[in-house]
Amino acid sequence: MIPILLTPPRFGDDRGWFSETYHEQRFRDLGIAAAFVQDNHSYSKQAGTIRGIHFQRPPHAQAKLVRCVRGRIFDAAVDLRPASPTFGQYVAAELSADDGHQLFIPAGFGHAFMTLVEDCEVVYKVDAYYAPETEGGVRWDDPAIAIDWPVIDGVADVPMLSPKDAALPLLADAALDFAYDSTPLAQLQA
């Protein structure tokens, strides 16, 4: 599996809209067989906040289904499968409460996002429970990955980071043991 950008349809009328954000059979039809076991919800107060690049190692590696329910984010998935020909490369998409896009990120990929506006809320499903002994990460600004983070007017060049994220190692120093399934990273297709 590789990351997939999804746009669930919205059905609207004068009251607003309705959308099925997850439908197991439709996801299976797309090749997404993740059995989600936990929902997470994060709130970021300031524009320019970065969370990540995060992952959990096997045997607790996580696939994620990410969506922004308030505000706008730049969401990135990084190939962390050492045997992959696209190891260290990334794909990214803007997710917003307005557009309803979601990003499916399979196990073996790191995840990070940057808030593009103030007061962002992100929710995501995962298919493995949080296991702190297997959590890991890579620096947001690792030149080997070279994520092209957006520039936000009026926001400092250095993003808002947690102390934990600021201390993450470079890709070359990260402990990675993800299997490669012979599917290299490809550009996102909706």
- List all residues 6 or more positions away from 26 whose beta carbon is below 8 Å from its beta carbon: 20
> Collapsing DSSP states into helix, strand and coil, what is residue 49?
strand
The reply to whether 60 belongs to the active site is no
Opening angle at CA 5, ends 7 and 37, nearest 5: 90
- Please give the structure tokens belonging to residue 68: 């922004």
Place of tokens 């992100």: 122
Phi, psi angles (nearest 5°) of residue 189: -125, 130
Task: Kindly tell me the sign of the dihedral angle through the C-alpha atoms of 59, 81, 55, 173.
Answer: positive
Catalytic residue among 90, 101, 111, 124: 124
Strands 16-18 and 11-13: antiparallel
The reply to whether 23 belongs to the active site is no
Cross-strand partners of 113:
51, 75
Catalytic residue among 54, 90, 101, 111: 54
- Please give the structure tokens belonging to residue 112: 């990070």
Rg of the chain on CA atoms, in Å: 16
Torsion angle (degrees, nearest 10) of CA 124, 129, 134, 137: 0
Active site residues: 54, 124
